[in-house]
Structure 1
Amino acid sequence: MPRFSANLSMLFTEVELIDRFAAARAAGFNAVEIQFPYELEAEPIRRKLNEYDLQLVLFNVPADGLLQGGEGLACVPEKQARFREALALAVEYAKVLQPPAINVLPGRCLDPSRIALYLDTFKRNLCLAADAFTPLGIKTVFEAINSLDMPGFIIDTSAKMLAVQDELQRANICLQYDIYHMLRMGEDPAAFIAKYAGRIGHIQFADCPGRGQPGTGSADWAALFSAIDSSAYDGWVGAEYKPVGDTSASLGWLNHSR
């Protein structure tokens, strides 16, 4: 079966972030990811990873107020200086934490007449990120987020991700493929992963609808995990869901897959 990582921004929230490393290890995970680790200093995170023999496989460049309804940073023309500051902070964390991939969230455009400008801005900033992370041996990834949950997100389908990647032609810029978001958009993740596994730098998942753990929605997880396992993808698969109940009770899928 795939190698699973626990997203500590969404799992084990029964305890403080600094204590979630221990909880993830106790649950059987060998790797973790954090959406935005910046509430903690990098060195204490490093110490927790070492203490519990965990690998940090992913975190995001800061995205301003994106999760609170804002446009984010990476695509907004008027925020390019702030994006560079956010990127510099992510680089400092990357030097200490050394994840294999860092995600740049494209963001939203709340004025449809400016979408082309926002896309151009994002592509320039994505290349800036790749220039910063490549010397550290880190892949730059970016993802599509469904426009039902997050209206105005500038990249909301697999086709739009591929188009950006095709245009930029940078070997160090890969896709972050989120199964939940693409299910929400009515796509076929198993078919996409089978065809484009070599272009994917990271995979995340949650059931759909609801974004809960596998078994709370309608997705066929045996088929999806099998598709990942039989594909050319060799990275981690991040559990990035909202547990229905406490986290420990939501992990039946993990125990079943072992």
Structure 2
Amino acid sequence: MLRFTANLSLLFTELPLLERFRAAKECGFDAVEIQFPYDLPAEHIRAALDEYNLKLVLFNVDADNLLRGGEGLAAVPEKRVQFEAAVEQTLAYARLLKPEAINVLPGCCLNPQRLDEYLQAFKTNLRLAADTFAGVGVTTVFEAVNSHDMPGFIVDGSPKMLSLLAEINHPNLRLQYDVYHMSRMGEDCAAFLARHADKVGHIQFADCPGRGQPGTGDVDFEQLFDLIADSPYQGWVGAEYKPLGNTSESLDWLKTGRAKLSVAL
């Protein structure tokens, strides 16, 4: 049976963040995820999770200026100390919020001549994160982001993810697989998950193109959800799309799903 989470950074954005927890529960979710929770004290998030009986499955290590067009944090050699501080901040939140996974965004390299430097810095930082979060029983994941939406992203496809995972070979490291980003890169997501589900620590989805809810693009979600449900993957599946209109009106994919597509703990 699939277990769905609501990504509160993209869903229910018609409400302030703390009110999105209630909205997610009322729409049938038992778990949520947040891209970057650090604008709220961890205690406030914990209180909302407890009030609505929700689990926070995943959040990211801070990525500095990545979402504002910058290179981010985890791969920039000159930001090593800043990344270490960000990991410590994430660790403090993880101790209280108890997520299942924490995502480290690789970031961009805007000077192609330095790409090897950036990749080496990212590998070093990813090992640090995997070591650190293992100490509190939290899996570390990293993801590929399509280079159409984010030019210069240093990990922009499944082959690069698999290569890094094999090279680092850390027992606490898995892939975060994003259906939208990999579809945007022209990849066959169903084929990848059929072959590599055992390497995945978290799945996120949106339709492609457009990054809207299922049914607004070209992804065959009935096939994809069937495949995930029948695969060795035992984790959560995160709805991380930009709703066309009100979020609650975008949830037909959830409301009308079959039993194995239903939300469950």
Bin for the TM-score computed over the shorter chain: over 0.9
| Residue number in structure 1 paired with 2:31 | 31
After superposing on structure 2, the runs of 4+ consecutive aligned residues of structure 1 that deviate more than 2 Å are: none
Query: How far apart are residue 53 of structure 1 and its match?
Result: 0.6
Written as runs of structure 1 = structure 2, the 5 A alignment for 1:65-214 is 65-214=65-214
What is the distance in 1 between the residues matched to 2:147 and 2:81?
26
TM-score relative to the length of structure 2: 0.97
CA distances 1:123-176 after superposition (whole Å, capped 9, x unpaired)? 000000011100100000000000000000000000000000000111211000
Percent identity over the alignment is: 62
AA partner of residue 136 (structure 2):
L
Say whether residues 1:8 and 2:8 are aligned partners: yes
Q: Which SS does the other structure have where 1:25 is aligned? A: helix
CA distances 1:43-77 after superposition (whole Å, capped 9, x unpaired)? 11011111111000000000001011000000000
Query: How far apart are residue 85 of structure 1 and its match?
Result: 0.9
What is the distance in 1 between the residues matched to 2:107 and 2:148?
14
Q: What's the RMSD between the two structures over aligned residues?
A: 0.6
What is the distance in 2 between the residues matched to 1:24 and 1:9?
12
Q: Which SS does the other structure have where 1:5 is aligned? A: strand
| Ranges in structure 1 where 5+ consecutive residues have no aligned partner | none
Query: How far apart are residue 2 of structure 1 and its match?
Result: 1.4
AA partner of residue 96 (structure 1):
L
CA distances 1:190-231 after superposition (whole Å, capped 9, x unpaired)? 111111111000000000000000000011110010111111
What is the distance in 1 between the residues matched to 2:151 and 2:57?
28
Query: How far apart are residue 118 of structure 1 and its match?
Result: 0.3
Aligned length: 258
| Residue number in structure 2 paired with 1:17 | 17
